[in-house]
Structure formats: C-alpha cells, structure tokens
Structure 1
Amino acid sequence: MSEAYDVVQRWAEAFNAGEADAIAALYAEGAVLWGTLGQQLTTSPAEITTYFAEAARAGLRVKLQTYVISPASDDLAIIAGHYEFSRTADGKTQPIPARYSFVLTRRNGAWMIAHQHSSLLPRPANRP
C-alpha cells in the first residue's frame, strides 16, 4: 500500500511547485474533491485544475504530517492524516493546520485519487 501513499506525496510535491495540471492528473476519472477552502464539491478535471491553480496563486504550501493507511482491498486504500498549509505574507509564515482523507484506487496498475476531503483542524474545545 505504500505505492498508494506515493500518490499523496506526489500530490504534495506538485502542490508546493504550484503545478495545478500535475495535481489534477493524479485524480481518477469521476473523482470528487471537497477542498479545504472549497465552497462546493469539485467534480470535473477542469474544476480540480482551477481549484489548485487558485491555491498556487494564493501562495499556499503544504507539509504532510502523520497519516494512517487503511487498505480496503488490493485496489482500494483510504489514507487519512494531518497536513499543515502555510502562507507567507509580510515576512511572516502563517501555519494553517488541516486534516485530510484520500480514497485511492488502482486502475490499470496505477494508483489514482478517487476522492479527497480536506478541512481545517478545529481548535480544541477548551481553547478560545
């Protein structure tokens, strides 16, 4: 299943390089993206490309953190974890903690993202 996680690592590398087309190429036909800052489900290759092009224009970067791989079958894996987005403005880097889940499917021997959900990490209940 480490090959499935390799796709997540390539996703992060392309994200940090601002390569929206390369990111979109990691998604399977019919994939669904519920982006961290998305206001609606992103369901077409063109929408996925646009979503990540906007993230690049905003100067966002991502750092992968802890994760768990749950194999559902030989050709289906669910990967859930944390990542931290960041943006630098006026010389200050602002961390943006978030969480994710990717559903990856192997099609024709290649792992592809079939579904992604990402959301901001909520503050603990005992903190303002």
Structure 2
Amino acid sequence: MIKKLFCSTLSASFLAATMSGCAPVAETGEVACAEVTEAEIAALFDRWNSSLATLDPDQVVANYTPTAVLLPTISNTPRTDHESIREYFVDFLPNNPQGVINSRTIAIGCNKAHDVGVYTFTFTDDQGQTTEAVARFSYVYVYKDGEWLIDHHHSSLMPETVAN
C-alpha cells in the first residue's frame, strides 16, 4: 500500500512538473521558476514589435529560441528554425509592419508564458499608403538562459477578413 501510494504521488508530481513545462531539479525535487509579471510578458510583444521597426530580420529573429516554431500570417510555410524564420522576415519587413494589441489574455507558468489575443497590423508601402490587417495571435514564451524568448508564434487573419 505504501509503495502504491508513493508511486501515485511520484507520478502525480511528475505529471504536474511536466504539464507546467518544468522539470524538477534532480536531487532536491524543487523547480527553479523565474518570477515574471503580466506586464513583463506584455512588454515582450513590445520588444518584438520594436525589432520589426528596425527592418533588420536578424534583430527580429533574436527574439526566438533556436527551435522556435513560427506559423506566420502571410505564408503557408511553417518556420521551424532561425534560418527559415529569418527568411520569412526578410520578405515581411519591407511592408513596414507595426502591430497594436486589441485584446489579449496572458497566462504565466513555470518558466513559460502564453500571450494570446487579437492584434492589428499597419503596413506602409513605398508611396506612404497604409493598409491594415486584423489577426489572431498566440505567443508561447520560455525562460531560457536568463531571458524570455518566443518558442511558438502563430498569427492568422480573422476568418471574416478571409471570407470577404
């Protein structure tokens, strides 16, 4: 009975650690979670958006983990490494994109956070004409080597935009 209870407790602890995105430290069983606020997670979008304004794809890519996945708004190709993410932004940045968050929900876990919602992007062409696109977004950030980086980024146009 004690062995069964211990195994159940151990399994529950492992499942909880796995679901939270953190692995326990081997000897102590404690998890070292970075402290972060919703405002700090919201500022990660601002950091990313500011990197877009530089029009430098390398500065944008610096926001992503080496194994990040980008499911971009205006490409059918999933991007799964820095090289392919950079390739996307080489094509995207000449549109002078700038985003504004319309609504969002932030959830914080152990060394990861989710920022999901709706944003509007404004694009400016060579003649100074602007167009807008409203899209849904999700960012999954992970705390790695002392910094928060994007590990998963999905953006898609709103269905009614596509239907019209």
- The TM-score, its normalising length taken from structure 1, stands at 0.85
Q: Which deviations, in whole Å up to 9, do the C-alpha atoms of 1:8-61 show, x marking residues without a partner? A: 111011112212111101111211000001211101111111111211123333
For residues 87 and 51 of structure 1, what CA distance do their matches in structure 2 show?
16
Q: Which deviations, in whole Å up to 9, do the C-alpha atoms of 1:80-124 show, x marking residues without a partner? A: 022111223455321111110000011122111000000011228
1:123 aligned counterpart, secondary structure:
helix
The letter of the residue matching 2:87 is T
Higher helix residue share: 2
Confirm whether residue 33 of structure 1 aligns to residue 66 of structure 2.
Answer: no
Q: Which runs of 5+ in 1 are unaligned?
A: none
- Aligned partner of 1:79 in structure 2 is 115
Farther-moved stretch of structure 1 (84-93 vs 43-52)? 84-93
For residues 32 and 95 of structure 1, what CA distance do their matches in structure 2 show?
25
Q: CA 1:121 to 1:16, structure 2 compared with 1: closer, same or farther past 3 Å?
A: farther
Q: Which runs of 5+ in 2 are unaligned?
A: 1-36
Residues 8-47 of structure 1: matches in 2 within 5 Å? 8-47=45-84
The letter of the residue matching 2:96 is G
Is this contact kept in 2: 1:16–1:62, CA < 8 A? no
- Aligned-pair RMSD on alpha carbons? 2.0
1:11 aligned counterpart, secondary structure:
helix
The letter of the residue matching 2:77 is Q
Which one scores higher on RCO, CA 8 angstroms, separation ≥ 6?
1
For residues 105 and 65 of structure 1, what CA distance do their matches in structure 2 show?
23
Of 65, 71, 92 in structure 1, the residue corresponding to residue 102 of structure 2 is: 65
1:43 aligned counterpart, secondary structure:
coil
- Aligned partner of 1:119 in structure 2 is 156
Q: Which deviations, in whole Å up to 9, do the C-alpha atoms of 1:54-78 show, x marking residues without a partner? A: 111233332233211011x221111
Work out the percentage of aligned pairs sharing the same amino acid.
28
1:64 aligned counterpart, secondary structure:
strand
- The TM-score, its normalising length taken from structure 2, stands at 0.68
For residues 16 and 66 of structure 1, what CA distance do their matches in structure 2 show?
21
Number of residue equivalences: 125
Farther-moved stretch of structure 1 (11-20 vs 30-39)? 11-20
For residues 16 and 120 of structure 1, what CA distance do their matches in structure 2 show?
21
